[in-house]
Amino acid sequence: MNPPEYSVIPAGDEFEDLDLDVENSPTSSEINEKRWFAKNKNYAYKVVVRSKWLLFILGITICVIIAMSAAFILGTELGTLCQRLRDFRSSLFSPSTALYGVGLPEDKPLINFDITGGIDYEVAGKECYRDKRGRIQNTYITCVIGGRDTDPTIVRNMVLECTRYAVNARMGLVLPRVAIEGASGNVSVSYLFDEEHFKKALSEICPNTLVVDDILNIENLSNAIITPIADPVNIPSGRQKGTIPLETFQQDILKYLNATPSVENPGIVQLEVGTSGLKNGNDNMTLLATFGSLVRPRQDILVFASKILYQMKSKYKLKMDLSGSMPDKGTFAGAYLDGSGSSYEESSRVYLDMLRGLGERYEYLYTSSANYSAIDELRSEAQEVGITVLTRWDLLSDIEDIEYIEKSLSREHEILIDYLVMLRSGWFMGQGSSGFSVNVAAKRHRIAQHAGRMTWPKDEWSHLVGRIDQEIVERAWL
């Protein structure tokens, strides 16, 4: 495009006095070009500036659109994720659970392993005082529980026994300490069990039982009157046949303390709950189940047991109603193996013969044992008769789950996982001398809505072989 032509003012006489360099003056065309560029320089600048603003506004608009789209998509996904987390948290009954690598199918509820027929407050009220005037003020019971080789299902019974002592003595309860194999010193009950659930449930069943998390939390501890550690069986009471009459337990404890506790001088009674102690053979079954509901395995144990059962159901197409409380006949069988010498050989043979003689056919046998070679031998023998032996390791497929168990859980935790899985088996077989087996069978008997006691060694849900350990039976809680 050529610059437009402009007229040039001619130099006349009126400009004669001016000192002009005519020779070097620009030509008409040069002047026209300069004038055109001068005129359009402003215009070009405005165009560039306006273009930059347009590009800036366009960029902002695009960013806003992208951000809104991303927010919508992310919001939808976050909403779904939050709902899943809320559902998962609710199903675990506690907002404090955090477990890496563990999740349940979103459309399945967490199994309630502790169905005991509900809490009977009328029955519990006979044991739990409701009047604060009945409480012995400034006096606490604390217990050291278990031994280095104690089964965690028996430890559970001991925790409940300690709780019963505090309730019947009308005294405060310091959360028991547990002696566990492999743990350094005595550990809190939270090492195995759901501590928050215990405190909350106890406050509902026995509202006037004061629970202290740790003995160090007792006011004026330095001035406390502390008894030596004693076995409750040896505390004087004038009892007969080595039993512990709870109706006189308060007087016995106060006599043993031999002091009058006060705010300035609190009393602390130390009890050692071991392999012998309180027998509840004459207690009401509803009471045993109500107190039994206080202590349940901690949340990650419940989750792993649930995952195993869901995996078993989906992988092997088992007709299991995991939303209910009742075991399902004909789904899978459970077996506990001692794994020691002739005991293993005898029990494994009896187990397989027993399965073949049942009315329902069981193709899958979930097995628990500390002896993995014993499980391998049973697996080979069972395969010959068309039965598949399973363990927790066969049913936990996520590498995160396996790593969590290997790094964060002990043998005691694994026993509790198997305990929960066994509760849901269609048929259970164990050994009468095993605390694990006795507690599984007793709990299953109660879950099946039986009001009476189990007639050992078997009922329609379980069968224990060998001699029944009556000491374990008489101290079992449901």
Which is more confidently placed, 131 or 316? 316
**pLDDT for the residue numbered 454:** 75
Give tens-digit pLDDT for 146-164.
Answer: 665 578 888 898 898 888 8
Q: Is the pLDDT of residue 18 over 90?
A: no
Query: What is the pLDDT confidence band of residue 87, given thresholds at 50, 70 and 90?
Result: very low
Report the first-to-last Cα separation within the chain, whole angstroms: 101
Query: What is the pLDDT confidence band of residue 107, given thresholds at 50, 70 and 90?
Result: very low
What is the residue-wise DSSP string for 243-286? ---GGGHHHHHHHHHTS---SSS-EEEEEEE-SS----TTS-HH
- Residue 189, Cβ neighbours under 10 Å: how many? 22
φ/ψ of residue 173, rounded to 5:
-120, 120
Its pTM stands at 0.73
Q: Is the pLDDT of residue 389 over 80?
A: yes
Give tens-digit pLDDT for 226-281.
Answer: 988 888 877 765 444 445 666 677 888 888 888 888 999 999 999 888 766 677 76
Question: Radius of gyration over alpha carbons of the chain, in Å?
Answer: 39
What is the residue-wise DSSP string for 203-230? HHHSTT--EES-GGGSTTGGG-EEPPPB
Lowest mean pLDDT among 101-105, 188-192, 369-373, 433-437: 101-105
What is the three-class DSSP state of 188?
strand
Tokens standing for 291? 């107190």
Mean pLDDT throughout 442-447?
A: 83
Give tens-digit pLDDT for 328-354.
Answer: 888 999 999 976 655 666 778 889 999
Q: Is the pLDDT of residue 126 over 80?
A: no
Residues in the chain: 478
Mean pLDDT throughout 207-233?
A: 88
Residue 107 and residue 85 in contact, taking contact as beta carbons nearer than 8 Å: no
Which is more confidently placed, 72 or 157? 157
Residue 159 and residue 295 in contact, taking contact as beta carbons nearer than 8 Å: yes
Q: Is the pLDDT of residue 21 over 50?
A: no
**Distant-in-sequence, close-in-space partners of 478: CB < 8 Å, separation ≥ 6:** 116, 285, 288, 289, 292, 442, 443, 446
C-alpha 308/C-alpha 314 separation (Å) is: 10
**Closest CA relative to residue 258, chosen from 215, 278, 231, 228:** 228
Q: Is the pLDDT of residue 183 over 80?
A: no
Element (H, E) at 172: strand 172-174
**Closest CA relative to residue 256, chosen from 136, 398, 363, 175:** 136
Element (H, E) at 330: none
What is the three-class DSSP state of 365?
strand
C-alpha 322/C-alpha 303 separation (Å) is: 13
**Closest CA relative to residue 210, chosen from 286, 137, 261:** 137
Four-way CATH pick for 299-474: 2.30.30, 3.40.50, 2.60.40, 1.10.10? 3.40.50
What is the three-class DSSP state of 145?
strand
For the chain, domain boundaries: 1-91, 121-292, 299-474
Q: What is the mean pLDDT of the chain?
A: 75
**pLDDT for the residue numbered 11:** 44
**pLDDT for the residue numbered 98:** 34
Query: What is the pLDDT confidence band of residue 93, given thresholds at 50, 70 and 90?
Result: very low
Mean pLDDT throughout 4-16?
A: 44
Q: Is the pLDDT of residue 84 over 50?
A: no
**Closest CA relative to residue 313, chosen from 361, 364, 266, 348:** 364
What is the residue-wise DSSP string for 418-452? HHHHHHT-SEEEEETT-HHHHHHHHHHHHHTT--S
**pLDDT for the residue numbered 333:** 94
Q: Is the pLDDT of residue 289 over 70?
A: yes
**pLDDT for the residue numbered 46:** 56
**Closest CA relative to residue 242, chosen from 281, 278, 274, 288:** 278
Instruction: Determine if residue 298 is left, alpha or beta; phi over 0 gives left, psi from -120 to 50 gives alpha, anything else beta.
Output: beta
What is the three-class DSSP state of 140?
strand
**Closest CA relative to residue 382, chosen from 366, 406, 368:** 366
Q: Which of 41-55, 126-140, 145-159, 289-303 has the highest mean pLDDT?
A: 289-303
Q: Is the pLDDT of residue 391 over 90?
A: yes
**pLDDT for the residue numbered 245:** 61
β-bridge mates for residue 186, sequence order: 179
Mean pLDDT throughout 62-74?
A: 71
Q: Is the pLDDT of residue 193 over 80?
A: yes
**pLDDT for the residue numbered 96:** 30
**pLDDT for the residue numbered 335:** 95
